[in-house]
Each structure stands twice: as structure tokens, then as C-alpha cells.
Amino acid sequence: MDLFLDPHSTPFAVAAIILAALTFLEMCCLLIGFSLSELIGKALPDDHGSGVSGLLSWLNYGGVPVLVLLMLFLGMFAINGFVFQAIARTLWLPLPTLVAAVPAFLVAIPEVRSLTRIVGRLVPRDETYAVDLAEFIGRTGEVTVGPLDQGLPGCVRIKDRHSNWHTFRARAAPNERPMAIGAQVLIVDHKSNVFIAITPPSNMLKAPDTYTGESP
């Protein structure tokens, strides 16, 4: 705690607090069927061809949601800074804030690049535009954030034709009964990037991971 409150560690403490706040907000948003990560991603301006765009591409932006990228960077920056200051305090005195922040920032960049490669394989994006959304119409999926009704969207996860998982916002079709978390659904339409789901016929009910992806 002394290290956290040390004025020389202020940038790292602030980064840790922002990380905790973003994590809390994303969890709250998921509970109501809303993706903060998606909102931030869509709010970012297109910056193709610039140095910033090239750096983001090198950091695997697009392979993971932008919010995950930001959270990984904040986490690694804070960890690096606290480690540097802890070592400096053990050997002599705390480093000046700028002296510690610059290497913590620079070291965090390759660390984030490595971590995004791992996270990108383990965690599906909230939404992807690499696959046409229309392709998912007629496929079955599983409710992951719900229940799905005609109100605020929940989330469903669906496999594409390459057997890759994707997670999308979805709501129940009009007059459809609420569908609980874990229920299988059939995607029948999408409006404004929100899928419309119904309860699938009994002959289509099967484990989502064995679903072939063929339209009915």
C-alpha cells in the first residue's frame, strides 16, 4: 500500500484505478446486454495510413476489442511501474516519476503485443465484420447474456462456417417468450447489428459446439 500511495508511483496508481473502473463498467454493461467495448470501437475515427494506425495494427488492434487492448496496456503499464519503483526502493530510493514512467510505457508496448495474440485466440470479439452478418441468419446459437426478450439486447454466441465463435447482441422476436441464459436460439434476422432470435424447432436442438452451421 505504501508503494501504491507513493507520489513517485502516481501514474501507475492512476492507471490501476482506471483499469478497475473500466472492468467494473464493462461488467455492469454486460449485465444489461450492452457492450461498452463495442461502443468505444465504433466511436473511434478511421485513421488508416497514419502512424497511430500502424502502431495499433502492430498491437493486434482488430484481433481483440479496443477496450481489451486499452485494459491490457493500462495493466502492464501499472505493473511495470510498480515493479521498477519497488526495485528502486529496495536498492536505493524511488525513481523520479518521469524516469519510471517512460520505461514502463515503452516496455508495456511489446508486452501488450504478446498478450493480445494470446487473448485473441482465447476470447472471441463482441462483434466482427470479417464475416458477413447475414451469414449467421439461419444458424443456432446459445444465450450468454440474458434473458432475451423484446427489451434491451442480450448476447448470443454463434459459430461461423470456419468453426470460430462470435458473440453478438440479440433480442427475442416479437411475441417470442423470454429465452434464458444457456438456451439455444435460432437466428432469423438482424436489425442495426442486433440479431433477432426465436426458439428453434425441436429437431434443430443440439449442442452448439456440434452444430454444422447449415441453414435450415
Instruction: List, in order of start, the domains of the chain with CATH numbers.
Output: 2-122 (no CATH), 133-210 (2.40.50.140)
Q: Is the pLDDT of residue 123 over 90?
A: no
3-class secondary structure for 113-179?
HHHHHHHHHHCCCCCCCCCCHHHHCCCEEEEEECCECCCCCEEEEEECCCCCEEEEEEEECCCCCCE
CA–CA dist 213, 162 (Å, integer): 9
Higher pLDDT, 128 or 10: 10
Report pLDDT for 128: 45
pLDDT band at 117 (very low <50, low <70, confident <90, very high): confident
Tens of pLDDT, residue by residue over 171-194, are 999 988 999 989 999 999 988 778
Q: Is the pLDDT of residue 69 over 90?
A: no
Report pLDDT for 43: 53
Report pLDDT for 207: 47
Name the helix (H) or strand (E) containing 101: helix 97-122
Per the CB < 8 A criterion, the answer to whether 154 and 33 are in contact is yes
* pTM for the whole structure: 0.53
Average pLDDT, the chain: 78
